[in-house]
Structure formats: structure tokens, C-alpha cells
Amino acid sequence: MRFLIAFVALVGYASASVISPLVYGVNAGDAQAAHIDAAVAAQDNARAWGEGQARAAEAAVQFNTEAVRQVAETNRDLQENAYWGSVAANQNAVAAAQSHAAAASGVVAARAGLAAGYAAPYAGFAAPYAGYAAAPYGIAAPYGIAAPYGAHGLAYRGW
């Protein structure tokens, strides 16, 4: 828009400088001064237009730079939140597994105590038969060789 105004002003000055000697009877020095003034005004307007374009380009670059920085910061925040979220989820999973292991271990200990409580009254009944585990049928294995067919001499058990 400034260029257009400068162009119209230049055309106006130029037409005035061409017509003015005929209308006003202006001398050549005044016409030349008017021409120089018009040329300087046109150069000033062109320079102002160029500087405006440079400022606009610089503002666009700054805007784009800020937008890129904001996107990078947002992505960094998202990645950081995802990382710490996964760390927290893993820690929660480990804590849950440890809780389940502790609960299972407590159940096993409780059952063992319960079983020992039930077995205590019958502990004396096993004493007369204790020798059969080491020597089945009352016969010890010679030279430390294990008894045939397992510890009880009756059958092989795999557990």
C-alpha cells in the first residue's frame, strides 16, 4: 500500500513537474528540485516498504521458532509423564507381587502351624514304627546300601 501511495505521489510530482512550467512558468531549477524531492520521497517509501517486509519476515521467524519450542516442550512433557507413569506402574506391580507373596507365605505358615497343632496329639503313635523307615521289616541294609523299593521297602515313590 505504501508503494502504491509512493507511486501515485511520484506520478503526481512528475506530472506537476512536466505541466508546471506551462501553467506556472516555473524555471528549470525549481523543476529539477521538485524532481529530486519526488525521487527522494519515492526512495524513502521504497526503503520503508523493504524495512516493513524485513520486520514482517523477522516476526514470522520468531513466531515459528516459538511455536517449535512450545511443541518440543509439550512433547518432552508427554514423554516424561509417560516414562514416570510406566515407572510407577512397574513399582506398583512389584509391590503387588510382593504383597501376594507375603500373603501366600502367611497362609502357608498358618497352615503349617495348624497342621502341627493337629499332629501333636498323635506324635506318640509314630514312635513304635520309627525304625521301619530306616530298616524296613526290621532288617538293616548292609554296607550302607539303600533298601530296595524305596525307604519303606514297599514301592518307589517319586515325590
Q: 26: buried, middle or exposed (CB in 10 Å: 19+, 13-18, 0-12)?
A: middle
Total residue length of the chain: 159
User: Residue 19 belongs to what H/E stretch?
Assistant: helix 2-23
DSSP of 123-151: GGGGGGGTHHHHSGGG-PPGGGPPPTTSS
Domain borders along the chain are: 2-125
Rounded alpha-carbon distances, angstroms, from residue 74 to 61, 69, 107, 113: 20, 9, 49, 58
Distance CA 40, CA 68 (A): 42
What's the maximum distance between 2 C-alpha atoms anywhere in the chain? 155
Could you list the pLDDT tens digit for every one of the 159 residues in the chain?
666 676 666 666 666 555 555 555 667 788 888 899 999 999 999 999 999 999 999 999 999 999 999 999 999 999 999 999 999 999 999 999 999 988 888 888 777 766 666 665 655 555 555 545 555 555 555 555 555 544 554 444 454
